[in-house]
Chain A
Amino acid sequence: MEVTITNDGTKTRAVLKGRVDTTTVEGFQKDIVPLMEGENPDIELDCSDLDYTSSQGLRIFLMLQKSVIARGGKMVMANMKSQVKEVFDITGFSNIIKII
């Protein structure tokens, strides 16, 4: 699992690559710590290379969104692959997380 974070001043962009599963979830949680703080809370997560997420990964996305909202920002997930989108749909997460 790779997380590449870039910041253009107003919006933070994070490119996610790989799988979030039992073995990678802890590393992923650490990798996104920078996104959970700071004054420019708007985040776009680029999921074009995200292959899979387990329910543990969903939980992390949920907490990230909570953190963003608490700081008055917005979080969107973009370019999600269909098999990942399916997980978000089944669990109803696509109702509360903006997926573009």
Chain B
Amino acid sequence: MTKRTSLTVRLSRRITVLTTAVFLSAMGLSSFFSQHELTRESENSVMRLLNSTVSRMNIFFGSVEKSLKVISWTVEERKTDVEYLKHITRMIVENDDIDGSTVAFVPYYFPNMEHCAPYSFVHQETGEIKSKMLGEEDVDYFKEDWFAKCTESGEALWSDPYFDQGGARFMMTTYSFPLKDNEGRTYAVLTADVPLENVMEMTESLRPYAESDVFIISDKGTVIAAGNKMDLVGQNILSLTEKTENDGLSAIYEDSTVGKPGIRKFRWNGVLRFAAYQELDNGWWVLFTFGYKDILTRVNILWAIVLAVGLIGILSLLLFNFRTISKMTAPLRSISAAAAEITAGNFHPVLPAIDTNDEIKQLRDSFLRMEESLDAQIERIEKETARNQRFESELRIASGIQASMVPTDFPVHGNVRLNAVLKPAKEVGGDLYDFYIKDNILYFAIGDVSGKGVPASLFMAITRAAFRFISQMGLEMNEVLQRINNAICEGNSGGMFVTMFIGRMNLETGELDYCNAGHNPLLLNGCFLDVKPNLALGVMVNFSYIAQRTVLRNGDSILAYTDGVTEAEKTDGEQYGEDRLKAFAISNRRLDGTGELCEKLLQEIHSFTEGNEQNDDITIMTIKYIQNGSHDNE
């Protein structure tokens, strides 16, 4: 059994599915492009921010470099005046961005003095500027990077950052500027200690996103500053890339070594992140990382809004569709219920009123017309049924009347045994037989009206009455037929005709006078009697019939029949025929004159036709002559 789903539900479902599909496609496309756009825009904005930060850092470091370069010229003039040099370093430290400065001479630049490095610095607690000589107490600066590397290379350089031994709160870096004599030999190094606090502050502007980090990395890959990720400071970025879940860092490092700014995706502890990076003028570089989510958050919010609006829209649409369709199809349900009522037998169910002029109204109107048509048809059928019933009942009565027209009170007479049967194909038929005995004389007739049914039956009645009446007038058999013929010809506009055989037998002598009007010849003891056809009755007025005579002997028998016997057919058209009839008559001689013979022949015909419908009336008459009643008990 199939599950029933209402039209309303199906329509609503389809519309909603379609709408949802369209909406989701549109939303998917739009969010795909907006995600792409937002990502690109975010990347651009990050790069702009990074660039501006790097510029500020360059200015910061550049100003330190420039001030040392300018001051280096003044040192040149009075390089042996230690007090003056102290003064110079104090001047340098006056710069807010610089916490300490020294002019450190190479060993024994001054005879008798291994170390000579006047040094000024900002006191951590008081903020006062103080001066002292390095190397005098505990600092053997010759091995310090800022000194050794600078004197070795003869070039200015920024040191790797470090925590000041004095317990500075911030990381420091030192800019070393070589001072050279006329021959180009480096005799001292001018330095500025720069706390990285200010630089780190500059990176604060690089925090547009919640999960972002800023790193400053040296030209050798050492993490100089790492915001709040202090544990990474001092580690080399290349060593971090060795962890397998940190993928893409080496590519970033390679970019940085050739000074190429960029933005890349990479994995940090397995999480996808973005890295933006740009090199500073001093060879360091700034690495800015932020989460993929930071960018996508905006897209996701967009998504959520669109999705929410869409869902509300689809739900509203579903509700609206459901209610609208339900309302529109309500008349359909009423009409369906009305149809069910009609099926149940109520032909006037209440139909819904419909205001719209649409298909549903057409349906309702068709339904109304159907009701009217049903009424008319039922009325017609009732009338026809009544009429048919009347006809049938009349036919039954007619059938009874006709059956009673042929005699069934077969004679009880010593010299003759006679039986007959008439089986119409329809209720009434055109076959007839008759007999009566008067003054020891047997009068008999058998006939067949052309056609069947009611018209034939009327003719049969006329013919049989005419025979009864005219045969008693004492006329010869040919005259009897002539008079019947003329009676029938009168007013026979339908071209009907009757074949008929009549006979008159003297039961004492066996003399048989007979006359035929186109009827099938009789069988006498199983052989055809010599019979002139003459002409069927009703065909030609005043036709002259010729009578014949024969004499029956004791035991002779006559079998009279109509063509319903010989022309009884199988479905393939084969007829019973005269030969079979003859054979039947010969092999059933002992039944001559009995009703048993008639029944047996009927049975044989029925078997022969194999149940094919009887299509013509059948009449059988058997007569056996018994002279002087000698075979009465045979």
Asked if B534 and A92 sit within 8 Å, CB to CB, the answer is yes
Closest Cβ neighbor of A51 among chain B residues: B573
The answer on a CB contact under 8 Å between A96 and B450 is: no
Residues of chain A whose beta carbon lies under 8 Å from any beta carbon of chain B: 19, 21-23, 52, 54-56, 58-60, 62-63, 66, 89-96
Q: Are B497 and A90 in contact, with the CB atoms below 8 A?
A: no
Partner of A95, one of B520, B521, B533, B616: B533
Chain A residues within an 8 Å CB radius of B592: none
Assess the B535–A91 pair: CB atoms within 8 A: yes
Q: Mark B523-551, 1 if CB is under 8 A from A, else 0.
A: 00000000001111001100000000000
Per a CB cutoff under 8 Å, which of B451, B495, B517 touches A62? B495
Can you report 9 residue pairs joining A to B where beta carbons are below 8 Å apart? A19-B573, A59-B451, A59-B496, A62-B539, A91-B518, A92-B517, A92-B534, A92-B539, A93-B536
Instruction: Name the residue of chain A whose CB is nearest to the CB of B563.
Output: A55
B504 CB within 8 Å of chain A: no
A55 touches B535 (CB 8 A): no
Shortest distance from the beta carbon of B562 to any chain A beta carbon, whole Å: 9
Interface bits B582-623 vs A (CB < 8 Å: 1, else 0): 000000000000000000000000000000000110000000
- Residues of A within 8 Å of B533, CB to CB, are 89-92, 94-95
Q: Tell whether, in the assembled complex, residue A62 and residue B497 are in contact, meaning their CB atoms are under 8 Å apart.
A: yes
| Distance of A22 Cα from B563 Cα, bound (Å) | 13
Closest Cβ of chain B to A25, distance in Å, is 9
CA of A52 to CA of B218 in the docked complex: distance in angstroms?
Answer: 126
**Could you tell me if A91 and B496 are in contact, using CB atoms closer than 8 angstroms?**
no
User: Which of A56, A63, A96 sits near B535, CB closer than 8 Å?
Assistant: A96
Given A22-B615, A59-B496, CB of A93 within 8 Å of CB of B539: yes
Hey, which chain A residues are within 8 Å of B499, CB to CB?
Answer: 55, 90-91
B448 within 8 Å of A (CB atoms): yes
Least Cβ distance of B275 to chain A in Å? 102
Q: Does B519 contact A (CB under 8 A)?
A: yes
Does B567 interact with chain A (Cβ within 8 Å)?
yes
Pair A93/B518 contact, Cβ less than 8 Å: yes
The CA of A96 and the CA of B544, in the complex, are separated in Å by 13
Give chain A residues whose Cβ lies under 8 Å from the Cβ of B536: 58, 91-93
Q: Flag whether B90 is at the interface (Cβ < 8 A).
A: no
What's the Cα separation between A96 and B543 when bound, in Å? 11
Contact assessment for A90 and B520 in the assembled complex, using a CB-CB cutoff below 8 Å: yes
- The residue on A at minimum CB distance from B521 is A90
As a 0/1 sequence over residues 82 to 121 of chain B, the CB contacts with chain A under 8 angstroms (1 = contact) are 0000000000000000000000000000000000000000
A94 vs B567: C-alpha distance when bound (angstroms): 20
A16 to B93, alpha carbons, bound, how many Å?
Answer: 143
* Chain B nearest CB, measured from A9 CB (Å): 29
Q: Which residues of B from 1 to 53 have beta carbons under 8 Å from A?
A: none
> Which chain A residues border B534 with CB–CB below 8 Å?
92, 95
Within the complex, the shortest CB–CB distance from B266 to chain A, in Å, comes to 99
Q: Describe A's contact surface by its main secondary structure.
A: helix
Chain B's closest residue to A89 (CB) is B533
Chain B positions within 8 Å of A94 at CB level:
533
Q: How far is the CA of A21 from the CA of B616 in the complex (A)?
A: 10
**Across the interface, which residues of A come within 8 angstroms of B450, CB to CB?**
55-56, 58-59
Once bound together, how far apart are the Cα atoms of A94 and B534, in whole Å?
A: 10
**Residues of B with C-beta under 8 A to A22:** 452, 615-616
Verify B535–A93 contact, CB threshold 8 A. Answer: yes
Select from chain A the residue with minimum beta-carbon distance to B536.
A91
Least Cβ–Cβ distance between A64 and chain B, in angstroms: 9
Contacts of B573 in A (CB 8 A): 19, 52
Which listed residue, A19, A21, A23, A58, touches B497 by the CB 8 Å rule? Answer: A58
Cβ–Cβ < 8 Å partners of B517 in chain A: 92
* Known contacts A54-B567, A92-B517, then 11 further A-B pairs from the complex at CB < 8 Å, ordered by chain A residue: A54-B563, A55-B499, A56-B452, A58-B497, A59-B496, A62-B497, A90-B518, A91-B518, A93-B536, A93-B539, A96-B539
- Using CB atoms, name the residue of chain B closest to A60: B495
Find out whether the CB atom of A95 lies under 8 angstroms from the CB atom of B535.
yes
A66 lies within 8 A of B535 (CB): no
Chain B residues with Cβ below 8 Å from A55 are: 448, 450-451, 497, 499, 563
Q: Which residues of B contact A56 (CB under 8 A)?
A: 450-452
A50 to B592, CA, bound (A): 37
Q: What's the minimum C-beta distance from A22 to chain B, rounded to whole angstroms?
A: 5
Q: Is the CB of A92 within 8 A of B518?
A: yes
CB-contacts of B438-466 with A (<8 A): 448, 450-452
Nearest B residue (CB) for A58: B450
Bound Cα distance from A63 to B450, whole angstroms: 13
A11 CB, nearest partner CB in chain B, Å: 24
Evaluate contact between B616 and A54: CB separation under 8 angstroms: yes
Residues of B within 8 A of A95 (CB): 533-535
Q: Give the contacting residue for A59; candidates B497, B521, B563, B615; CB below 8 A.
A: B497
Q: Are A96 and B540 in contact (CB under 8 A)?
A: yes
Whether the pair B535, A92 counts as a contact (CB closer than 8 A) is: yes
Chain B's closest residue to A62 (CB) is: B495
Q: Which residues of B contact A59 (CB under 8 A)?
A: 450-451, 495-497
Least CB distance from A75 to B in Å reads 14
* Docked-complex contact B495 and A63, CB < 8 angstroms: yes
Question: Which residues from A are CB-within-8-Å of B518?
Answer: 90-93
Q: Please, how many angstroms separate the alpha-carbon atoms of A1 and B613 in the complex? A: 20
B519 touching A66, Cβ below 8 Å: no
Q: How far is the CA of A44 from the CA of B519 in the complex (A)?
A: 27
> For the complex, what is the distance from the CA of A52 to the CA of B228, rounded to whole Å?
123
Q: How far is the CA of A52 from the CA of B575 in the complex (A)?
A: 11
- In the complex, what residues of B have CB within 8 A of residue A60's CB? 495
Docked pose: A63 CA to B538 CA in angstroms: 12
Q: How far is the CB of B321 from chain A (nearest CB, A)?
A: 62
CB of B509 to closest CB in A, whole Å: 29
Q: Mark B489-527, 1 if CB is under 8 A from A, else 0.
A: 000000111010000000000000000011111000000
Q: What's the nearest-Cβ distance from chain B to residue A98, in Å?
A: 14
